[in-house]
Every structure is written in structure tokens, then in C-alpha cells.
């Protein structure tokens, strides 16, 4: 039954979007599946955006969507934020891609070190994936070890994705995969490979793996185990740094050795950072006893540097981040009440929410592994039909231009969509 209803919703969607359908057909000729980011690929085809402003997207067929995806958390400031536009306009006038330095990069570095207590020094990259690759390399070089401990469902980039049983394009890494929130499995791994595990790479909330919060003692326990075993603790805060002015680590009171950031800090331009303890970061300085070259043509690209400077200085204030966090907690609570009436639930933390088609308690990726995701796909299409855009797998991300009024629109669309999904049955 649900397959037929889904097919109907694809047909209805396609009939309303002839121009996006044509665009997709052209794209398929030269791009596998017509896309260049697998996460954006959904049935029957993604709509093509013509313009965006604030928390709204307009597609080339003229449909307007309230954006509750926020480009998978990049869009914290919304679309075309004034502060970023003003910051990149002088770059267009004065030039970019110099092959030497510009003033912004040292200032962005200073501001990051000021915010994140665990960062003495930082290095920029073009993406979160690259930042994590640098972090892993620094950790393994500094410990002279070869294994990396990661978590099932952990997503650290296109080449660093650790879901058991799912094929990946990962770089060759000797990875030990444990269960999120299961400190005992980490302890056992250290018992077995204490001399080999060079680092633990963890998201302070399992992000793409389901937006699953860390239990209070989990991250503190990882800190202790890393200390006891001489391993480097790396926090991937590409998603969670939005939780407070000093990131998730400030809220949780855990100090990692290295932290990676990316996404929204670049204001929508390519961005990545690895930062941390001086002893580790100085491996990237010239002339040290153990020093390594690390370059990247776009590490200091002026658009990203100018945009991130504006984001850090003008947009990502303690007030705006705390407000976003509180609105997210409130929205998740209200959404969860509606969802649970229909056998779904909302997980997440602050302004990052995940919708799942199950009401079992979720503390690790395995708890979601067996769930039939088709009801979430149908919910996604029903929300689109009502002019609300979320991630195809149930991801909801808040942004600053949204308001309590848009949250109410979201909740009312969610309620009526759930009624349709429930009527179909599973």
C-alpha cells in the first residue's frame, strides 16, 4: 500500500514541476543520477532552485518552500544574509586568489581560538571532510599509531563515513567501529588495542547517523579513556559547534585535543577548520622536529575567509546561538508530541532535529537500523506538498530567519502530513 501511495506522490510532485523535471533530465546526461551530492538525490527528482532569501526557497516552477533543511546545517544564517553579502562585496571589487595571504585569515583564526577553549592554533581547509582528514593525520603521526576508533553511524565526510554494513568510499583507514553511547564497547577496544589506537574521532551528537544525543557521561568517559591510553580525542563539531558560543564542548564541559569545524561558519562558502592543542598543531609549523607540510589551494580562499569573519563577528553571537538553541529545543519537544501519536519520534539537540519512524528508545545507530524509512519518505513528500522542505531522511535544521510563527506553520504542516501517513498504514 505505502509503495503505491509513494508512487502517487512522485507523480503528483512531477506533474507540478515540469521545469525541474527537464532540468533533471539534462543533468543526468553528465552527472551520475543527475546530482553531485548524493544526499540531495530523492525520488522522483530534486526541485531546482531559482532563488533563495531568508528561510525561503523558490524553485524554477514557481513554488515557494519554507526551508527547514538549511542545507544540512550550513544555512544557520539563512539565505543571503546581509552580513555575509557585505563582507564578500569588497572581495569582488579588490580581488581574490592571490597566491599569498590576506589579512582576514589571521583574524578568523584569532576569533576561533578565542571562542573554543581547546584551540590554541588552527589550520583552515576547504571542507569538513578535509579538516577531519588533517585531524586524523595529526593524531596518528603524533602517537605513531595506526588505528582510529570511530562510531557506527559516524559521518565525518564523504571519505570518512562509518556505518556498519553500508558500503563506503572511505580512505583506507584502520578503523575500529564501536557503538555510540556504549562506553563499554570502547573500553573493550582499548583493552584489545591499547598500543595501537591513536585517536578517537567522535561527534558530540551523532549527526547524519540519526541526530542522536550523547549520554551525559559518554564523552567524559571517552576523555578519560583517551587519557589513560595515550590517545588523541578529536571532536568533530562540524554540526554541533552551533550549540553555543564555545561549541558543544563548552556546554558539555569536555576538552578535546583536536576539534574540527565547517559548514555554517563559512556563511555558505566552502569552509573547514582543524584546531587544538599547540603540541599537536605545531606539527604543521615550519622547521619543527616533527613537522609536515600541508597545503590546499583554497584553504585561505578570500570569499570563505571574509564570510567567516563576518559570521563570527556579527552573526554567531552568544545571544543568537542561545536563542537558536532554545527555539530548537522547543520545536523538537512540540514535534515529538505530534510524532509519537503516530508511532514516530523526534531526536536531536538544540537546533538540529531528526525524525524517525519508530518509537523505540534511540541511543545508537543500531537502534534505527531495522526501521522501514518509507513512512519518513512519505512524510517528506507530504510536507513538500504543504510547502515545507526538510531533509529526505527526516532532518530538520533551524536557521536564524525562521521565527516562532514559521515554527507554528511547520508544526501544523507536520500534524496534517502525519494524518495522511498514518491513514496509509505501514
- Integer Rg of the chain from CA: 22
| Size of site (CB under 6 A) for ligand PLP | 16
Largest CA distance in the chain: 67
> For ligand PLP, which residue of 239, 304, 347, 406 counts as binding (CB under 6 A)?
239
Residue 162's nearest CA partner among 188, 201, 190 is 201
Asked if residue 70 binds ligand PLP (CB under 6 A), the reply is: no
Please identify, using beta-carbon distances, which residue of 261 and 418 lies nearer to ligand PLP: 261
Q: How far apart are the first and last CA of the chain?
A: 8
Residues pairing with 305 in the sheet: none
Q: How far apart are CA 163 and CA 291, in angstroms?
A: 33
CA distances from 317 to 242, 243, 310, 402 (A): 10, 12, 11, 17
Asked if residue 180 binds ligand PLP (CB under 6 A), the reply is: no
- Using CB under 6 A as the binding rule, the residues of this chain from 124 to 163 that contact ligand PLP are 127-129, 132, 155-157
Q: How far apart are CA 351 and CA 353, in angstroms?
A: 7
- Using CB under 6 A as the binding rule, the residues of this chain from 291 to 350 that contact ligand PLP are none
Piece of the chain touching ligand PLP by CB under 6 A; list 115-123, 203-211, 215-223, 392-400: 203-211
Question: What is the contact mask toward ligand PLP in residues 20 to 59, using x (rule: CB under 6 A)?
Answer: ----------------------------------------
Please identify, using beta-carbon distances, which residue of 236 and 382 lies nearer to ligand PLP: 236
Please identify, using beta-carbon distances, which residue of 14 and 175 lies nearer to ligand PLP: 175
Asked if residue 391 binds ligand PLP (CB under 6 A), the reply is: no
- Using CB under 6 A as the binding rule, the residues of this chain from 264 to 293 that contact ligand PLP are 272
Q: Counting every residue, how long is the chain?
A: 426
Q: Give the other-Cβ count within 10 Å of 194's Cβ.
A: 14
Piece of the chain touching ligand PLP by CB under 6 A; list 60-68, 97-105, 178-186, 202-210: 202-210
| Residues near ligand PLP, by CB under 6 A | 72, 127-129, 132, 155-157, 203, 207-208, 236, 238-239, 262, 272
Amino acid at each position: 500500500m505505502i509503495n503505491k501511495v509513494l508512487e502517487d506522490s512522485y507523480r503528483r510532485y512531477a506533474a507540478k514541476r515540469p521545469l525541474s523535471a527537464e532540468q533533471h533530465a539534462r543533468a543526468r546526461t553528465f552527472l551520475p543520477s543527475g546530482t553531485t551530492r548524493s544526499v540531495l538525490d530523492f525520488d522522483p527528482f530534486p526541485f531546482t532552485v531559482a532563488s533563495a532569501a531568508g528561510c525561503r526557497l523558490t524553485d524554477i516552477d514557481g513554488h515557494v518552500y519554507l526551508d527547514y533543511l538549511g542545507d544540512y546545517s550550513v544555512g544557520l544564517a539563512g539565505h543571503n544574509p546581509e552580513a555575509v553579502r557585505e563582507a564578500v562585496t569588497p572581495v569582488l571589487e579588490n580581488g581574490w586568489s592571490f597566491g599569498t595571504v590576506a589579512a582576514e585569515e589571521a583574524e578568523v583564526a584569532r576569533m576561533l581560538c578565542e571562542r573554543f577553549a581547546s584551540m590554541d592554533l588552527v589550520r583552515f581547509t576547504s571542507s569538513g571532510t578535509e579538516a577531519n582528514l588533517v585531524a586524523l593525520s595529526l593524531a596518528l603521526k603524533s602517537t605513531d599509531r595506526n588505528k582510529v576508533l570511530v562510531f557506527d553511524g559516524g559521518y565525518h565526510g564523504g571519505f570518512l563515513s562509518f556505518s556498519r554494513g553500508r558500503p563506503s568510499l572511505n580512505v583506507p583507514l584502520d578503523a575500529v567501529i564501536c557503538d555510540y553511547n556504549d562506553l563499554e564497547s570502547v573500553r573493550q577496544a582499548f583493552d584489545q588495542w591499547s598500543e595501537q589506537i591513536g585517536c578517537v574521532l567522535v561527534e558530540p551528537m551523532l549527526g547524519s547517523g540519526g541526530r542522536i544525543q550523547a549520554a551525559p557521561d559518554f564523552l567524559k568517559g571517552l576523555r578519560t579513556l583517551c587519557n589513560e591510553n595515550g590517545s588523541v580525542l578529536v571532536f568533530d563539531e562540524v554540526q554541533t559547534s552551533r550549540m553555543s558560543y564555545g561549541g558543544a564542548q563548552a556546554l558539555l564541559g569536555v576538552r578535546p585535543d583536536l576539534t574540527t569545524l565547517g559548514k555554517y561558519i563559512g556563511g555558505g562558502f566552502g569552509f573547514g577548520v582543524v584546531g587544538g592543542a599547540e603540541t599537536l598543531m605545531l606539527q604543521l609549523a615550519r622547521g619543527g622536529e616533527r613537522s609536515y607540510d600541508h597545503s590546499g589551494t583554497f584553504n585561505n580562499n578570500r570569499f570563505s575567509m571574509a564570510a567567516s569573519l563576518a559570521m563570527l563577528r556579527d552573526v554567531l553571537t552568544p545571544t543568537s546561538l542561545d536563542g537558536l538553541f532554545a527555539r530548537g529545543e522547543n520545536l523538537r519537544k512540540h514535534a515529538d508530541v505530534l510524532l509519537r501519536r503516530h508511532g514516530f519520534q523526534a531526536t536531536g539537540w538544540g537546533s538540529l532535529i531528526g525524525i524517525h519512524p519508530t518509537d523505540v528508545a534511540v541511543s545508537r545507530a543500531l537502534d534505527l537500523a531495522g526501521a522501514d524509512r518509507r513512512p519518513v519518505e512519505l512524510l517528506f513528500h507530504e510536507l513538500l506538498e504543504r510547502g515545507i522542505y526538510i531533509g529526505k531522511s527526516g532532518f530538520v535544521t533551524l536557521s536564524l530567519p525562521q521565527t516562532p510563527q514559521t515554527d507554528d506553520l511547520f508544526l501544523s504542516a507536520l500534524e496534517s502530513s502525519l494524518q495522511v501517513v498514518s491513514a496509509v498504514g505501514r
